[in-house]
């Protein structure tokens, strides 16, 4: 049974970067894909990208290309999502979830609130 | 990119009533790689249905999914109090990106 634990809430200034972590326990970390999904306040779900940790191959949604980097550390079973050049409309809850690439998303982490404010 | 359009935006129903939620894709969803999620306030989404019509583990049988190609439906046969939430469809079959519908809120009438 895979369990995903995310890092804590962050407050960032516009123009800065944030790096959110997602540690996996249970299951075989190298055998699955991890996706990142965000949800702005009161809004829907938006897929940002995914990574296959064992290959360190990441794919990103077009609208985040150049601003998001997803990496993995297989020794600690942790995936990271770094978003740069933050703007106020990047304020959102960021979720990691197992899946993506012809696999549905399950389970999900509890989410990490990132607030971008001057 | 496959765009998913959910309707209605809000569904106002009473406990015990039947809920029918629609998800329409802008192009065919390959191999029915279509999932439905439920999200309650302050919680992460939870998968309900995968492959358009297969219930995820632990999901009660009052939930059912149907459809293929570009038109999909989630039906809740008799609404329980805990079913009032927001529901999202998602396609996961194409090359990136994965896309979500805009959601349907099922609220108590």
Q: Tell me the pLDDT tens digit for each residue of B30-50.
A: 878 999 999 999 999 999 999
Q: What is the mean pLDDT of residues B58-86?
A: 97
A–B: how many Cβ contacts below 8 A?
Answer: 64
Q: Cβ(B61)–Cβ(B4) under 8 Å?
A: no
Check residue A100 and give its pLDDT.
86
- C-alpha to C-alpha distance for B28 and B38, rounded to whole angstroms: 23
Q: Is B80 exposed, middle or buried (0-12, 13-18, 19+ CB in 10 A)?
A: exposed
Q: Cβ(A10)–Cβ(A112) under 8 Å?
A: yes
* B-contacting residues in A 71-110 (Cβ below 8 Å): 95, 97, 99-106, 108-110
Q: With 70 as the cut, is the pLDDT of residue A108 above it?
A: yes
Q: With 70 as the cut, is the pLDDT of residue A73 above it?
A: yes
Smallest CA–CA distance from A113 into chain B, residue: B42
Check residue B58 and give its pLDDT.
95
Our CA-based measurement puts residue A118 at a distance from the nearest CA of chain B, in whole angstroms, of 25
A95:B1 CB<8 A: no
Report pLDDT digits (tens) over A80-102.
999 999 999 999 999 999 998 78
Check residue B31 and give its pLDDT.
77
Which residues are CB-neighbours of A65 under 8 A, at least 6 positions away?
none
Please tell me which of the candidates A101, A103, A108 has its beta carbon nearest to residue B45.
A108
Output the average pLDDT for chain A: 94
Could you tell me the pLDDT band of residue B95, with boundaries at 50, 70 and 90? low
- C-alpha to C-alpha distance for A60 and B57, rounded to whole angstroms: 29
Q: What is the mean pLDDT of residues B58-63?
A: 97
The phi, psi pair for B82, rounded to 5°, reads: -75, -5
* B-contacting residues in A 20-39 (Cβ below 8 Å): 35, 37
């Amino acid at each position: 049974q895979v369990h995903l634990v995310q890092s804590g809430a962050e407050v960032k200034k516009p123009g800065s970067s944030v790096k959110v972590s997602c540690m996996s326990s249970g299951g075989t970390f190298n055998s699955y894909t991890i996706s990142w999904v965000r949800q702005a306040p009161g809004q829907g779900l938006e897929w940002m990208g995914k990574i296959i940790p064992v290959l360190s191959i990441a794919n990103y949604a077009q609208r985040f290309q150049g601003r998001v980097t997803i990496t993995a550390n297989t020794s600690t079973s942790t995936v990271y999502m770094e978003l740069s050049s933050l703007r106020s409309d990047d304020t959102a809850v960021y979720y990691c979830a197992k899946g993506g690439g012809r696999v549905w998303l399950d389970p999900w982490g509890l989410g990490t609130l990132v607030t971008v404010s001057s | 990119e496959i765009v998913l359009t959910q309707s209605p935006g809000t569904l106002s129903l009473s406990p015990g009533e039947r809920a029918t939620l629609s998800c329409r894709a802008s192009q065919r969803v390959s191999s029915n790689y279509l999932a439905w999620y439920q999200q309650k306030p302050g919680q992460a989404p939870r998968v309900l249905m995968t492959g358009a019509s297969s219930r995820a583990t632990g999901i009660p049988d009052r939930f059912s999914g149907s459809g293929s190609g570009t038109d999909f439906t989630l039906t809740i046969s008799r609404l329980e109090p805990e079913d009032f939430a927001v529901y999202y469809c998602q396609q996961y079959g194409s090359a990136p990106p994965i896309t979500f519908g805009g959601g349907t809120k099922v609220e108590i009438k």
